[in-house]
Amino acid sequence: MKSQIVAIIPVRKNSQRVKNKNFKKFYKNKSLLEIKLSQLKKVREIDKIVISSDSKKAEKIAKKYKVSFHKRKKYFASSKCSGSNFFHNLATSIDGEYLMYCPCTSPIIRISTYKKFIKKFHSSKNKFDSLNSVSSLNTFIWKGNKSLNYKSLKAPNSQNLPKNYYELTFGLNIISRDKMIKLRNIVGNKPKFIVLDKVESTDIDDEIDFFLAQALYKKIKK
């Protein structure tokens, strides 16, 4: 029996670093939220799409695109709410066997990547309890005055740095609803990390990110 995949797009009414980030026009008069919806609706492997938001504008967009809407309470859309509390509330509020967390701030993930991601999850969910997109940290990492991924007295060339250091991109994640409730996170105890390339790892966190992502997206779409 096929497992149900429910895609969740989290949207805050008041974004912190970029004003109205999720609703700001990004490409051909479409917002980041509308672009994400257009992407996900092309992925047949997704059984249901849910926008989780405290915004009435997001609710109207959900109706326009004929997807489900979860009205998020004010606290869970505020900076006072921790990530763990946010994830726990999200999982307890939305039904579905497996939840796919995919924020619209990662606008350059390919349709084929979503499909491959879901296929990989179905084939490996007995080995791993979550699938999470990451970017490879091929850089010299320090904590305080100590190097973490190389010996400072024997510094290698960057291409010879260890390949097992990653950064979560948060662009694409799949985990069972039960596990997300239990762990209060989208990363399981036995995660499988999927490395995305630099383009697909694009994440919009501030105004510069928005400008660069927009320029890159336009170039790809030409």
Other C-beta atoms closer than 10 Å to the C-beta of 102 total 26
- Residue 183 lies in domain: 5-221
Predicted TM-score (pTM) of this structure: 0.92
CA 124 – CA 130 distance, rounded (Å) = 9
**At which residue do the structure tokens 């008041």 appear?**
14
Q: Which residues, given as ranges, of the chain have pLDDT below 50? A: 1
What is the per-residue pLDDT for 45?
96
CA 24 – CA 210 distance, rounded (Å) = 10
Note whether 153 and 193 are within 8 A (CB).
no
Note whether 149 and 211 are within 8 A (CB).
no
What is the per-residue pLDDT for 181?
98
Task: Report pLDDT digits (tens) over 56-79.
Answer: 999 999 999 999 999 999 999 998
What is the per-residue pLDDT for 189?
96
What is the per-residue pLDDT for 171?
95
What is the per-residue pLDDT for 154?
86
Q: For 100, left (φ over 0), alpha (ψ -120 to 50), or beta? A: beta
What is the per-residue pLDDT for 214?
95
Q: Structurally, how many domains does the chain consist of? A: 1
What is the per-residue pLDDT for 63?
97
Domain with 164 in it: what CATH number? Answer: 3.90.550.10
